[in-house]
Chains A and B, each alone.
Chain A
Amino acid sequence: MTTRAAAVRPAPPAPTTARRRLRPGRLGVHAFLMTVSIAFLAPLVLAVYASLRPYDETSEYGYFSLPRHLSLDYYRQAFTDSGMTKYFVNTMIIAVPGVLVTLFLASFVAFALARLKMRGGLVLLMLFTAGNLLPQQVIVTPLYVVFNRIPLPYWMSDSMTMFDSYWAVVLVQIGFQLGFCVFVLANFMRTLPQEILEAAVVDGAGVWTQFWRITLPLCRPALAALGTLQFTWMYNDFLWALVFISDGDKLPITSALNNLRGQFFTDYNLLAAGSVIVALPTLVVFMLLQRHFIAGLTLGSNK
């Protein structure tokens, strides 16, 4: 394999000679990585391409043909007829409070576990961490039953129950994601120097001050990373809304995409446009905050 030949370390010692000698292997690595990269990009490119072409054209010549007409008609249609804007708003109603509350609550739990070193902390950490590892379907049924039975006043939910309201989805998102955030933040907080906190305690700082004024500001990078990741996850959620919301008008954007197909069963080009619209915000977030996004994914694992 090419792996062996391309034995150039990023370290500086005598790079020029080494690089010249190992040229062919290096080319092999590039050819391989380039091929894989193109293969990974192709589905997205194809989706964008399909979304720009009329259905008649692709049904006659296939997605893999030269374009005759290109237009943004499907995007217009997705926004006007299918109300994508409304679904975006729904997603924001769920994800923004979801991310903020999750981060706030999780950071306090992590603070108590990692910085105050409370008795039983390990049990608590396991409780949260393990909870996040369960498959969602294990908890869906009882929640579905219970949410159907919890009445809410009309100003909170027009269905008069917890079921079919944003509250249900936000609550489940928070409850389920807490585990991951506690795990990550507790690991992060353990890396902070304990001395700062001890100095504050000597100065008479209470628990809240130790948390809010001293620990939290030091966690800014971790919070940014986790926030980015959590937003992506809540945005991408499909199941919670599918189960807990029955009114199509309240669906967040990812679950609403499923309806787009229901209405226009055969028009895959419209669906492609819908997919691109749904994927675009996460792709933009990823490109702008790539560093944070990756940091978030690896924070939890980098032990």
Chain B
Amino acid sequence: MSFISGRRTGQRGTRRFTRRDLVVLGVLLGIPVLLDIAIVWGPTLASVALSFTSWDGIGDIKWVGTRNYANLFTNYPQFWPAARHNLLWLGFLGLVAAPFGLLLAVLIDKGVRFSRFYQSTLYMPVVLSLAVVGFIAQLIFSRDQGALNAIVGDTRTPTDWLGDPDLNIWMILLAAAWRHTGYVMILYLAGLKAVDPSLKEAAAIDGASETQTFFRIVFPTLRPVNVIVGVITVIESLRAFDIVYAVNHGRNGLELLSVLVTDNIIGEASRIGFGSAIAVVLLAVSLGFVVTYLVQELRGEKNR
């Protein structure tokens, strides 16, 4: 979509700006850059620094080296379940919700009738906040009156879908996937619209079946969308918070790293250093993906 009009970036820095231009540039570039540093990058670095300290938010900040991390990995019973849940989240959204979104996009892209209706319905959940999704999930999965138990017909010994710590994460994943599928579908639909139809026709003439055409011709051209979907899936899985917090504040089987961070800073015991250590774990995982993505973008940018 976005081609620079043929010119390479950064080669014409000789254009002179008037003094007024420089003021405009300084102020209107300066404010957002400062804001980005103050709100995003500064705090990120501060989190890293604070993770090596012990602090309750009021008294002295004490340097404790890697003690927070040692405690986190060995001595904090919620940590590993939370990390596992985040991974599960990533796996479920990436291997179930995203492919399902792709399937829906492919079917709708065939131009069947009522496709407008299907599209709108399927991505309607995307506009809901995850907190609202969490509340709605309670209506469906609640033990005594929930719709799911009514359908299953299990009234004698009702299943406690959200209360059973072995079960609830899966129900929440279903609810999260409800929203994620639609999101992924929009992205793929846009991508599919951009695929050159002559490619498909050529494949059909060569006698390729529908499935072959899709996997050999169409899917490879969707690569940029695949990257975006991958990034969004990773980010959403690491950010996941609202939905479990709305259901039960992320306890009893619904622990997530994000919840542990929040609990440690706004909970009763303000453990800033320890909370930061958890945040840094989250950062380390996400940075791996973010950097991979950016390197790819950068390469694309250079080729333009």
Q: Which residues of A contact B (CB under 8 A)?
A: 3-4, 6-11, 26, 29-30, 32-34, 36-37, 40-41, 43-44, 46-47, 50, 58-59, 62-65, 105-106, 108-109, 112, 114, 117-119, 121-122, 124, 126-146, 148, 171-172, 174-176, 178-179, 182, 187-188, 190-191, 193-195, 201, 206-208, 211, 232, 235-239, 242-243, 254-255, 257-258, 261, 268, 271-272, 274-275, 278-279, 282-283, 285-287, 290, 293-294, 297-298, 300-303
Chain B residues closer than 8 Å to A271, beta-carbon distance = 135, 138
* Known contacts A119-B10, A275-B136; is-contact A36 B129 (Cβ 8 Å): no
Taken together as a complex, chains A and B put the C-alpha atoms of A257 and B133 apart, in Å, by: 12
* Cβ contacts A to B, 23 pairs, < 8 Å: A40-B121, A40-B122, A40-B124, A44-B125, A63-B139, A112-B25, A122-B298, A126-B298, A127-B41, A129-B297, A137-B258, A138-B43, A176-B39, A187-B2, A190-B2, A194-B7, A201-B15, A206-B18, A236-B129, A243-B265, A257-B135, A278-B132, A301-B190
Chain A residues closer than 8 Å to B251, beta-carbon distance = none
Chain A residues closer than 8 Å to B122, beta-carbon distance = 36-37, 40
Chain A residues closer than 8 Å to B225, beta-carbon distance = 301
Q: Does B283 count as interface, using CB distance less than 8 angstroms?
A: yes
Instruction: With both chains docked as a complex, state the minimum distance between the C-beta of A302 and any C-beta of chain B, in angstroms.
Output: 5
Size bin of chain B's contact surface: 35 or more
Instruction: With both chains docked as a complex, state the minimum distance between the C-beta of A78 and any C-beta of chain B, in angstroms.
Output: 13
Binds A, one of B70-78, B89-97, B236-244: B236-244
Chain A residues closer than 8 Å to B280, beta-carbon distance = 138
The reply to whether B128 and A46 form a contact with Cβ atoms under 8 Å apart is: no
Looking at chain A's contact residues, the main secondary structure is: helix
Q: Does B275 count as interface, using CB distance less than 8 angstroms?
A: yes
19 more CB-based (< 8 A) A-B contacts, given A108-B32, A135-B286: A3-B103, A4-B211, A9-B200, A29-B112, A40-B122, A117-B9, A127-B41, A134-B283, A137-B282, A138-B47, A143-B39, A144-B266, A174-B35, A207-B20, A243-B265, A243-B266, A279-B129, A302-B194, A303-B224
* Known contacts A7-B210, A145-B272; is-contact A139 B40 (Cβ 8 Å): yes
Chain A residues closer than 8 Å to B64, beta-carbon distance = none
Q: Does B269 count as interface, using CB distance less than 8 angstroms?
A: no
Pick from B182, B200, B231, B239 the residue with the most CB of A within 10 Å.
B239
* Known contacts A112-B29, A138-B283; is-contact A130 B127 (Cβ 8 Å): no
Q: Does B106 count as interface, using CB distance less than 8 angstroms?
A: yes
Chain B residues closer than 8 Å to A179, beta-carbon distance = 36, 40
Chain B residues closer than 8 Å to A133, beta-carbon distance = 231, 235, 286, 290, 293
